[in-house]
């Protein structure tokens, strides 16, 4: 109150949430979100310039780096660790969020319940999950836990930045609340580390990496600035991005690891084209693992772009 000064406050736990910082400083603060490394930052940290020079050699290096990024993730302090140590530390990160940021912070006595909710949500990485379905899964595991408590725990886990929830695209607040939300963990490496050993979940971690990149590109967006889209015939498009209330044109982004399978290709393109028609857009994007092509459809043009290149475009 007596000095002209700028204060920069950082932290990696929910001991003081951004909403509480705003309260403490009474409107004289602005919160910025710092996520683990993006792919561009990961590439730079591994000695690769975060842009493609057009050469086949650079493309091969960037493809390999992106494959590694989906497994190792972007936590800077874990670079160079052997796989076993890295996975152990990432599992500890998830456990610490549960213990320190939830059990201690909110004085929750039900440690098993919180861990089960966190495990179930992390296992659902990249998929749509309703509170009712999550509650039913927990009850099937022998956890007698109410819907309201599950909702509160899920909200606490999001506040602690262990994961994010993405709602369905709608102009109705009520429909947004009652429809399932898609779940994304904070980092693809963490999602890999806490998943079951037999599972690969490559498509889900690719979708997660795309979501995190969209979140970086659209900081401080209004609620539902990033959402998923359901067409009138219930076909799903992974992301619709933009705030038309602020004059931003919406963008549609579909994620598909491999377009070579004819059935998968048809399903993904049809969903995206249908959404383009319903939203009045003439362009759409499919982010893939390797594929690159321009696809002409009745509604306009769809660009298939490999994820490593898409992540370096902005």
Would you say residue 163 has pLDDT above 90? yes
Residue 12 has pLDDT above 80, yes or no: no
**Range among 141-145, 193-197, 270-274 rated most confident:** 270-274
Average pLDDT (302-310) is 97
Q: What is the pLDDT of residue 101?
A: 78
Residue (of 207, 274, 197, 162) closest to 70 by Cα position: 207
How far is Cα 165 from Cα 300, in angstroms, rounded to an integer?
30
Q: What is the pLDDT of residue 171?
A: 78
Q: Could you read off the pLDDT of 245-288 as tens digits, one per residue? A: 665 558 999 999 999 999 999 999 999 999 999 999 999 999 99
Residue 213 has pLDDT above 90, yes or no: yes
Q: For residue 240, what are the CA distances in angstroms to 39, 47, 123, 146?
A: 21, 33, 24, 32
For position 108, what pLDDT does the model report? Answer: 78
Contact 312, 40 (CB under 8 A): yes
More confident residue, 288 or 19: 288
Pairing, β 283-288 against β 300-306: parallel
* pLDDT grade for 11, boundaries at 50, 70 and 90: low
CA dihedral 220, 120, 194, 64 (to 10 degrees): -60
Highest mean pLDDT of the ranges 18-27, 45-54, 294-303: 294-303
Specify the range with the lowest mean pLDDT, choosing from 54-63, 99-108, 224-233.
99-108
Q: Is there a contact between 187 and 74 (Cβ–Cβ < 8 Å)?
A: yes
Provide the β-strand partners of residue 168.
Answer: 228
The DSSP symbol for 248 reads P
Instruction: Write 147-154 long-range contacts (CB < 8 A, 24+).
Output: 149/113, 150/117, 153/102, 153/108, 153/113, 153/114, 153/117, 153/118, 154/117, 154/121
Question: Can you state the percent helix, strand and coil of the chain, rounding each to 5?
Answer: 45, 15, 40
Q: What percent of the chain has pLDDT over 70?
A: 90
Q: What's the confidence (pLDDT) of residue 83? A: 95
Write down the pLDDT at residue 21.
65
pLDDT band at 17 (very low <50, low <70, confident <90, very high): low
User: Quick check: 91 pLDDT over 70?
Assistant: yes
pLDDT of 228 > 90? The answer is: yes
* Alpha helix ranges (H) inside 46-109: 56-72, 83-96
Query: Which string of b and e fits 278-289 if b means at least 16 CB within 10 Å?
Result: ebebeebbbbbb
Which DSSP letter does residue 101 get? I
- pTM reported for the whole predicted model: 0.90
Kindly tell me if the per-residue pLDDT of 14 is higher than 60.
no
| 114-132: average pLDDT | 91
Asked if the model's pLDDT at residue 294 lies above 60, the reply is yes
Q: What whole-number distance in Å separates Cα of residue 244 and Cα of residue 225?
A: 9
* Distance in angstroms (rounded) separating the CA atoms of residues 121 and 250: 28
Residue 250 near residue 241 (C-beta atoms within 8 A): yes
Could you give the strand order of the β-sheet that contains 300-306, starting from the edge strand earlier in sequence? Answer: 226-230, 236-241, 251-255, 283-288, 300-306, 293-297
Specify the pLDDT at position 6: 83
Contact 153, 113 (CB under 8 A): yes
CA separation for the pair 143, 135 (Å, rounded): 9
Measured at the CA of 284, the angle between CA 278 and CA 286, to 5 degrees, comes to: 125
pLDDT for residue 152 is more than 70: yes
Round the average pLDDT of the chain to a whole number and report it.
88
How does DSSP classify residue 50? S
Of the pLDDT bands very low, low, confident and very high (cuts 50, 70, 90), residue 24 is low
State CA 200 to chain mean position distance: 17
């Amino acid at each position: 109150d007596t000095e002209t000064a700028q204060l920069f406050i950082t932290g990696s736990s929910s001991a003081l949430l951004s909403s509480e910082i705003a309260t403490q400083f009474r409107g004289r603060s602005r919160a910025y979100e710092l996520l683990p490394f993006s792919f561009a930052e990961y590439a730079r940290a591994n000695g690769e310039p975060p842009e493609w020079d057009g050469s086949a050699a650079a493309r091969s290096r960037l493809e390999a780096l992106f494959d590694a990024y989906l497994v190792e993730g972007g936590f800077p302090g874990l670079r160079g660790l052997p796989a076993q140590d890295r996975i152990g530390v990432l599992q500890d990160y998830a456990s610490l969020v549960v213990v320190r940021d939830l059990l201690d912070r909110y004085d929750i006595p039900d440690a098993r319940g919180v861990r089960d909710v966190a495990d179930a949500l992390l296992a659902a990485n990249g998929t749509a999950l309703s509170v009712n379905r999550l509650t039913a899964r927990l009850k099937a595991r022998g956890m007698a836990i109410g819907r309201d408590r599950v909702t509160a725990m899920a909200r606490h886990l999001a506040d602690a930045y262990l994961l994010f929830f993405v709602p369905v695209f709608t102009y109705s607040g009520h429909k947004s609340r009652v429809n399932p939300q898609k779940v994304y963990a904070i980092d693809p490496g963490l999602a890999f580390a806490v998943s079951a050993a037999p599972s690969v979940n490559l498509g889900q971690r690719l979708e997660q990496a795309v979501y995190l990149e969209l979140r970086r590109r659209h900081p401080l967006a209004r609620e539902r600035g990033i959402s998923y889209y359901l067409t009138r015939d219930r076909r799903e498009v992974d992301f619709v991005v933009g705030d038309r209330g602020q004059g931003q044109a919406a963008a549609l982004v579909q994620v598909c690891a491999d377009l070579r399978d004819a059935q998968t290709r048809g399903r993904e393109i049809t969903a995206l084209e249908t959404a383009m028609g319903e939203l009045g857009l003439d362009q759409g994007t499919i982010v893939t693992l390797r594929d690159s092509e321009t696809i002409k459809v009745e509604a306009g043009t769809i660009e298939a772009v490999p994820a490593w290149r898409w992540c370096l475009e902005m």
